[in-house]
Amino acid sequence: MSVSQEYRLGQSLVWSNQEFSLADFVKRYELPQVVLVLGGYCGDTERTTFGRNQVLTLHTLRTTSKIVCQVPHSNAVVVPTSCPLKAEVIPMDCRDTKVTAYQLSTTYQKIKYVRVMEVGSTWNNNSIDTLKINDILQIKKIDSKISVLRCKNLTTAQDVSIYIDSTAVFVPLLDSNTYNLAEIQKKFGLPAKVRFLDKRAEIQMRSVPGKRKPSTSSTYLSDLGQMTAIEETQESDVIVTTVCSNLEEKVCLNVPTTLDITITVAEGFLRGDKTYQRVVKTLDKQLNRTNLKAFDDLDVYEHMNAVKKRMEEMVFIEEASTEVVERAREHLQRVERKKSKKLSSFERPPNYLPRQQESAKQK
């Protein structure tokens, strides 16, 4: 079937006067179906922009689990729970995003793992080159007699001692490992403080050889800094293709079912007409028979099974809706109120001073 024939096939349908919202339609009827857009919507992206009188084939419904993440000084975002990227986990009870050796020896004595953020001054066999940025340390002992932290550098497998008044700066961690969001949810529960670090892996995951490169304006998780993964939510998408006269303009998208568009159906759909059923079956199959080269500039460009698989693999970082944000923040506030009634398990009052202050006091 040529492209113009596909377009004429869609245009041959006689449309009814019955109107549906997209969400209501996919709840009531099985897919695939062919629909006409009556009331369009101009969104921020191609995925959420549809014009009036646009013919769409709704192929299948897809429900995904996403985690709402609060980003400091910004709006919340939603990230697929299946996102394979690894993140470090930071203690929820730790109020500081970075700590010093003195704080680790006093206020945060129960923190046993840290990542080196700034090297500062260190001591180990008269060497100041023991630590490097991003080394992971396990704190083995707080030696109050000589005011040092005795640590194991898990990155280099070396022992290292750090003066309590060192200028080194650390990121507190729950343990020495990194986890994807699903693993974090299972092992530590939500909410959880996390930080994605491996931008190289994120860029590599987004890149497909010979295909469209990611937009330079794309948001990377590794650029967002420390965030709070608050709770998991379920979102439903419809895999949609446009019915176009030119195959080069044919688009396959995953569209949120909550998108504010009004659609109608063909008279044949309401009557259960066999001709309509053949049209739907034919247009649904077109995704399998399409020339893949025509989809080089699109997010999804393979046949139906590959479309589903690829969408599962892609990481869409989206701004959370107002409703989702409010619900997530209320949940986080409830959790924080419960914790505020107890003394933080990571915080303890200071029990001694650093070396310089001790010397001054003795004088």
Q: Hey, what CATH topology would domain 99-173 get? A: SH3 type barrels. (2.30.30)
The residues facing 231 across adjacent strands are 68
Predicted pLDDT at 115: 97
Sign of CA dihedral 145, 113, 75, 221: positive
Alpha-carbon span 313 to 64, nearest angstrom: 12
pLDDT score, position 139: 97
**In Å, how far from its chain's centre is CA 344?**
28
**Residue 107: its pLDDT value, please?**
92
Helix axis angle, 274-289 relative to 304-313, nearest 10°? 60
Query: What residue ranges in 27-129 does DSSP mark as E strands?
Result: 33-39, 55-70, 77-80, 87-90, 99-100, 113-118
Q: What is the pLDDT of residue 128?
A: 54
Predicted local confidence at residue 304, as pLDDT: 38
Output the tens digit of pLDDT for each of the chain's 363 residues: 555 566 777 777 889 999 999 999 999 999 889 999 998 877 666 656 788 888 898 988 888 889 999 998 777 889 989 889 999 999 998 888 899 999 999 999 999 999 999 987 655 444 456 789 999 999 999 998 999 999 999 999 999 999 999 899 999 999 999 999 999 999 999 999 999 998 888 887 766 443 444 443 357 889 889 999 999 998 888 888 888 766 666 777 778 888 889 999 999 888 888 888 888 887 777 665 444 343 333 333 333 344 444 444 445 577 777 888 888 888 888 887 877 665 455 555 445 455 554 444 444
Q: Are 14 and 275 in contact (CB under 8 A)?
A: no
The pTM assigned to this predicted structure is: 0.72
Phi/psi of residue 288, each to 5°?
Answer: -75, -25
User: What pLDDT does residue 278 have?
Assistant: 82
Q: Which class for 139: exposed (0-12), middle (13-18), buried (19 or more C-beta within 10 A)?
A: buried
- Count CB neighbours of 114 within 10 A: 26
Q: Kindly report, as residue ranges, where domains of CATH 2.30.30.40 are found in the chain.
A: 99-173
